Structure formats: structure tokens, C-alpha cells
Amino acid sequence: MHLLLHPLAKPLALVLLCAPGATLLWGAAAGQLGANPAEALIRSLGDWALRLLCLTLAVTPLRLWTGWHALARFRRMLGVASFFYAVLHFLAYAWLDMGLYLDDILRDIGKRPFILVGFAALLGLLPLAATSFNRAIRALGAARWQRLHRLVYVIAPLALLHFYWMRAGKNDFAEVYVYATIVAVLLMARLARARRAGPAATRRA
């Protein structure tokens, strides 16, 4: 618990959050991502975006179940990191799959539902990342800021659906079930908390 309050805790967390992306980009540059490096990079960046989104959702339940209230210090950092990996995921797709041709990208988004859903999740993360600093909270007011950030409970199922459709092409659902279970448990935990405490808890969540 005290380690979470250490002045170096946040810088260390930032390094750990950047490490997967740095490792993937280095692997891509060094030709170490296998026979299809473009696909490996795109999918791995998306996987990390989903993992960090799940961790962001998990902060409040873990804080309540363990009493480690200092975990709240890391929630916004995790959310921004999830957005960062989602942006890298999209940029890798736009560059490596579509050659950065805007017309082709827009046509592909409209033609393929799994890309449309993933893009919708990315757009949903954008206002959350843009308002994840103290000045934005003061400008919006705590209540409006909280209402805006409840979008994450819509974004998470969209991201999960995107992941499901990606894996459906290869009939590989093992990880999908794991993430679906995690997201379902976290969403049910929030609903249970809101029901126990009534409308006041819903406003604070």
C-alpha cells in the first residue's frame, strides 16, 4: 500500500506502461515479429489497448475490495495508456494495411463491421483521454466529468466486440472468453455497487 504512494510509483508505472509498445516497435524494426510482422504489430498493439482498458475498469473494484485507495492515483494514467495503444493500433493498421490512403481507410471502415466497431471505441476513448487532467475536471465540474467518463462502460463492450470479430476470422476464441469474463465481472461489480448504495453511489461512480 505504501509503495503505491511512493514518489517514484507513478514514474515507474509510466515506464512499465510504455515498455510493451517500445518492445513491439523495436521488434518490428529489428524484424523479430515473425513471418507476418505487420499483422503481429497491429494485433499486439490492439491487445495491449484492451488489456489496459480492463485494468482501468478494474481500479475502482480493486480499490474497494482491497482497501488500497491509492490505486485511484493510477486510473487516469491507465486510461490514457489504453487510448495511446488504441491510437498506435489504428495507426499501424492505417499505415501497414492501408498505406495511409485516407479514402481507402474510410471505405474499409464503412465496409467491415469489426473495423467500424473498433473505430467507434477509439473515438469514444478520445474525449476521455482529452479530459483526463485536473484542469479539465475543474472546467467540466466533477459531476459532468464523471458522467462523461462513464462512456468507458460503453467503450469496453465495443472494444471486446472488435476483438471478438478479429479472432473469429481464425476461429480463436480462447482469449476472447477471458476478456469477456473480465469485462462482465467488472461491469456487474459496478452495477451491484450502484444498486446497493442507490442513486448517490451512481453519481459518485
Give the domain ranges of the chain: 2-204
Q: How far is CA 112 from CA 28, 99, 173, in A?
A: 26, 17, 19
Sign for the CA dihedral angle at 94, 99, 100, 101 comes to negative
The pLDDT, as a whole number, for residue 199 is 53
Give the pLDDT confidence score for residue 197 in this predicted structure: 65
Which pLDDT does position 18 carry in this prediction? Answer: 96
The predicted-structure confidence for 139-187, as pLDDT tens digits, reads as follows: 988 888 888 888 988 999 999 999 999 888 777 788 899 999 999 998 8
- Angle at CA of residue 63, ends 1 and 121, nearest 5°: 125
Which parts of the chain sit beneath pLDDT 50? 200-205
Write down the pLDDT at residue 1.
Answer: 57
Q: What pLDDT shows up at residue 77? A: 94
Q: What angle do CA 80, 25, 7 make, to 5 degrees?
A: 45
